[in-house]
Amino acid sequence: MTATSLFYILISILIINFIFDKILDFLNAKHFGDVLPKEVADVYDETEYIKSQNYKKVNFRFSTITSTFSILLTLLFFIFDGFKIVDDFARFYSENNIVIALIFFGVIMLGSDVLITPFSYYKTFVIEEKFGFNKSTKKLFWIDKLKGWLMTIILGGLILSLIVWFYGFAGNQFWIYAWALVAVFTLFMNLFYSTLIVPLFNKQTPLKDGDLKTAIKKFADKVGFKLDKIFVIDGSKRSTKANAYFSGFGETKRIVLFDTLINDLTTEEIVAVLAHEVGHYKRKHTIFNLVASILLTGLTFYILSLFIDNALLSQALGVSKPSFHIGLIAFGILYSPISEITGLIMNFISRKFEYQADDFAKEHFGATHLISSLKKLSKNSLTNLTPHRYYVFMHYSHPTLKERILNLNK
């Protein structure tokens, strides 16, 4: 194969990916106005239904514009040898491979983030604002951005440096070291995400005394889950949308309820949502996800190690001097069809897990309150109740509201 043909393969993958995505979006949008299935017909009243229709359309238009802008820019970057320009720039400042890789990815990430920021700003302060979801201030938006950058620079920079260093002394055996590093990092993040990362952005407080705590305690005792592992997070400082999640394992496990969830739902409904989260824990879903993600990382690094020495990867991007960082970019694109497939499988499993967690909640707390809480949550976030099944198959990590209600009523 020549560098030119590989270049065209890379471009084709990007374009096919984009077109495929747009077709799915379009199919999904064509069904926005479908008659609501009877299971979910009572979620919205007339005004809210119209509002939800508008919200879907506005978001569809917005995502079409953003993704078109982004693919055009990416293609221009490829066609005009963007990677070579950035590589030359990095090499101007250093001869050390680690420093070059850091500058290279630093410039590319900073550049793309600067270009994407106006879009996310618009999404928060125009779209979400218009539909009454946004609670974030401009100051908070920029502080979040800054913190996000700092985290990427410190954590991403550290991991990248180590991997380039591994490649320097171990050649294509580097993948074993890289895998071990990322596995340890993933494990560490799983254990300490709630205590190290979340506090940078949010406040978590133990449940306050009152009816809710009493009701939750009753349920927690029944299923053997410790009450001191349940926290409330101040999600309301950014958005009115409500959520709950389970994180960590062993001693660091915890269930986090958004304060917005507590405001929107009745006590029984909150216990039902909590029961669903306990279900994820009892059915060992977090452990499965952790193991799966570590195994997938290993597989990806191994395949990367088979390709990374090939000078063609760099030459395809117009860079004559082969290097790890350029090879990584080309590989990332070549690998993207495979990661689409693994993503699909993970979504499929995740939807199964949601049913299992729902079944657990049903078994230990009954289905009625979970159904009414799911309906309320869907209503309050103007959820699309008639997504196209192909779209669900590709993108949804949760079954649709209709499917969940059917399952809970079984």
Q: Would you please indicate which residues are annotated as catalytic (active-site) residues? A: 277
Print the binding letters for residues 86-105 with Zn ion: x by CB under 5 A, - otherwise: --------------------
Instruction: Provide the CA 46 distance to its chain's centre, in angstroms.
Output: 32
* Near Zn ion in 300-339, by CB under 5 A: none
Q: Which residues, at least 6 apart from 230, have a Cβ–Cβ distance to it below 8 Å?
A: 206, 207, 216, 220, 254, 255, 257, 274
Report the alpha-carbon distance of residue 309 to residue 108 in Å, rounded.
22
Residues present in the chain in total: 410
Minimum CB distance to Zn ion, residue 220 (Å): 17
Judged by beta carbon, residue 255 or residue 357, the one nearer Zn ion is 357
Minimum CB distance to Zn ion, residue 245 (Å): 8
Minimum CB distance to Zn ion, residue 282 (Å): 12
Number of residues counted as binding Zn ion (CB under 5 A): 2
* Near Zn ion in 341-360, by CB under 5 A: 354, 357
Judged by beta carbon, residue 333 or residue 357, the one nearer Zn ion is 357
Minimum CB distance to Zn ion, residue 39 (Å): 19
Minimum CB distance to Zn ion, residue 276 (Å): 6
Print the binding letters for residues 268-307 with Zn ion: x by CB under 5 A, - otherwise: ----------------------------------------
Q: Which candidate, 307, 334, 306, 323, places its Cα nearest to that of 83?
A: 323
Hey, what long-range contacts does 183-187 have (CB within 8 A, 24 or more apart)? 183/294, 183/297, 183/298, 185/155, 185/159, 186/290, 186/293, 186/294, 186/297, 187/290, 187/294
- The β-bridge partners of 134 are 239
Judged by beta carbon, residue 128 or residue 354, the one nearer Zn ion is 354
Judged by beta carbon, residue 216 or residue 357, the one nearer Zn ion is 357
Judged by beta carbon, residue 313 or residue 357, the one nearer Zn ion is 357
Minimum CB distance to Zn ion, residue 24 (Å): 23
Judged by beta carbon, residue 97 or residue 372, the one nearer Zn ion is 372
Report the alpha-carbon distance of residue 59 to residue 62 in Å, rounded.
5
Residue with tokens 């194969």, as numbered in its chain: 1
Residues near Zn ion (CB under 5 A): 354, 357
